[in-house]
Amino acid sequence: MIVPIEPVPAPPKRYDIIIDTLPPLRFEVPVAIVTNPTVARLHLKRVLERIEASKVEVFEVPDGEEYKTIDTVLSILDRLFAARFDRSSLLIALGGGVIGDMTGFAASIYQRGIGFVQIPTTLLAQVDASVGGKTGVNTRWGKNLIGAFYQPEAVYIDPDFLSTLPKREYAAGIAEVIKMAVMFDREFFDFLEGHDLFERSSVVRMIARSVELKAEVVNQDEKERGLRAVLNYGHTFAHVIENETGYGRYLHGEAVAIGMVMANELAVELGLLGRAEADRIRALLERYGLPVRYRVEDPEAFYEHFFLDKKTAGGKVKFILPGGSIGTHTMRDDVDPDLVRRVLARFGG
């Protein structure tokens, strides 16, 4: 006997992304703020002054990508149980992408799922990680390999948090902004080229447009069955670079910057991007001190490394590339491996 269950496919959950000074937030339920000592020292007092709830706890977890683990998530769950948080409770992620991804994942599994709110404090988290519901942790097998698609209740993006962010972290966020512009919006790219992205009004516009573009993608393809993969432009190369360098030399956005330059060189060879446009993208990355060079010691080994990526399917490498010019995209899984290796060899210095 077969008993079919045919749920009605639901559209992705609706929620608001508020880009403004953090407003007073009032919750009728118990709330736990998950943060780390760095962010707590700089910003927790101001956030606590704005939060009212039936109960407010603060859970600090250690700072760093190396703590983005299932053990840290278990420690968050443990503290929730110890403080007798029930299914009505809410988690608040106060921090960068590491805190956001772990808090979202903890929320997705605590008593089969409680709500969570994102208050991102790095540029990378404000323009990318806090939006779209990818949550999770790293394992020894690779980055973000355990997790869930789990959307927040709301995202509060306050650009004032960025005043304390080290310049290098800020630039790493700009790399993800440039990624969005190159893939989806030529006018936005022109705007990024024409403005100082440290200046307050440019910052707000840069965040707002990035978030709009990301929301459009997530609305169409929440679970990354197609279009959402375009957000991985530069990442196929970046993941190999991060892995080869032991995750210590480059911030993720820096590796993505190099990865975009590599993808662009491939796109130029395939006639998908003009040389002048590839040079414009490289120049914009360099303006913010982002790395654009990388010595590929062994192109063959680098190519083989693509197959360790969870996004490599059916023995084929899917390259996300500009689709003819800045502001357009294409996905190609038919690129001649010899051509890829030749392009990589040019990065050998």
Give the active site residues.
112, 134, 176, 214, 224, 228, 232, 235, 239, 252
Using the rule CB under 6 A, is 148 a contact of ligand NAD?
no
Q: Which is nearer to ligand NAD, 66 or 297 (by Cβ)?
A: 66
Q: Measured between alpha carbons, how far is 320 from 328 in angstroms, rounded to an integer?
A: 11
- Give the binding-site size for ligand NAD (rule: CB under 6 A): 29
Using the rule CB under 6 A, is 97 a contact of ligand NAD?
yes
Q: Which is nearer to ligand GLY, 43 or 235 (by Cβ)?
A: 235
In angstroms, what is the minimal distance from the CB of 194 to ligand NAD? 26
Distance of CA 217 to the CA centre of its chain: 13
Using the rule CB under 6 A, is 170 a contact of ligand NAD?
no
- Sequence-distant (6+) residues with CB within 8 A of 83 are 30, 32, 55, 57
Q: Measured between alpha carbons, how far is 177 from 173 in angstroms, rounded to an integer?
A: 7
Per CB under 6 A, the list member of 69, 72, 108, 121 interacting with ligand NAD is: 121
Using the rule CB under 6 A, is 79 a contact of ligand GLY?
no
Taking CA atoms, 341 is separated from 65, 109, 145, 176, 337, in Å, by 31, 42, 27, 25, 6
Per CB under 6 A, the list member of 30, 32, 53, 132 interacting with ligand NAD is: 132
Using the rule CB under 6 A, is 132 a contact of ligand GLY?
yes
In angstroms, what is the minimal distance from the CB of 130 to ligand NAD? 8
Q: Measured between alpha carbons, how far is 53 from 33 in angstroms, rounded to an integer?
A: 11
The residue range among 94-102, 216-224, 234-242, 302-310 that interacts with ligand NAD, by the rule CB under 6 A, is 94-102
Q: Which is nearer to ligand NAD, 153 or 269 (by Cβ)?
A: 153
Among ligand GLY, ligand NAD, none, residue 65 binds (CB under 5-8 Å by kind) = ligand NAD
Per CB under 6 A, the list member of 34, 40, 51, 165 interacting with ligand NAD is: 165
Backbone angles phi, psi at 18, to 5 degrees: -105, 120
Q: Which is nearer to ligand GLY, 59 or 237 (by Cβ)?
A: 237
Backbone angles phi, psi at 148, to 5 degrees: -150, 150
Per CB under 6 A, the list member of 124, 229, 238, 321 interacting with ligand NAD is: 124
Taking CA atoms, 231 is separated from 260, 270, 331, in Å, by 11, 20, 11
Q: Is the sign of the CA dihedral 37, 94, 126, 262 positive or negative?
A: positive
| Percent helix / strand / coil, the chain, rounded to 5 | 50, 15, 35
Using the rule CB under 6 A, is 242 a contact of ligand GLY?
no
Using the rule CB under 6 A, is 144 a contact of ligand NAD?
yes
Per CB under 6 A, the list member of 39, 178, 183, 260 interacting with ligand NAD is: 39
Distance in Å from the first CA to the final CA of the chain: 65
Taking CA atoms, 286 is separated from 96, 176, 197, 214, in Å, by 24, 14, 13, 24
Q: Hey, what are 130's tokens?
A: 């806090």
Using the rule CB under 6 A, is 169 a contact of ligand NAD?
yes
Q: Hey, what are 196's tokens?
A: 């100082």
Return the half-sphere exposure (C-beta side, CA atoms, 13 A cut-off) of residue 186: 9
Q: Of residues 63-92, which lie at the interface with ligand NAD (CB under 6 A)?
A: 63, 65, 68
Q: CA 124, 130, 136, 137: dihedral to nearest 10 degrees?
A: 30
Using the rule CB under 6 A, is 231 a contact of ligand GLY?
yes
Under the rule (CB under 6 A), what is the footprint of ligand GLY? 128, 132, 134, 228, 231
Under the rule (CB under 6 A), what is the footprint of ligand NAD? 36, 38-39, 42, 63, 65, 68, 95-99, 101, 121-122, 124-125, 128-129, 132, 134, 143-144, 161, 164-165, 169, 172, 252
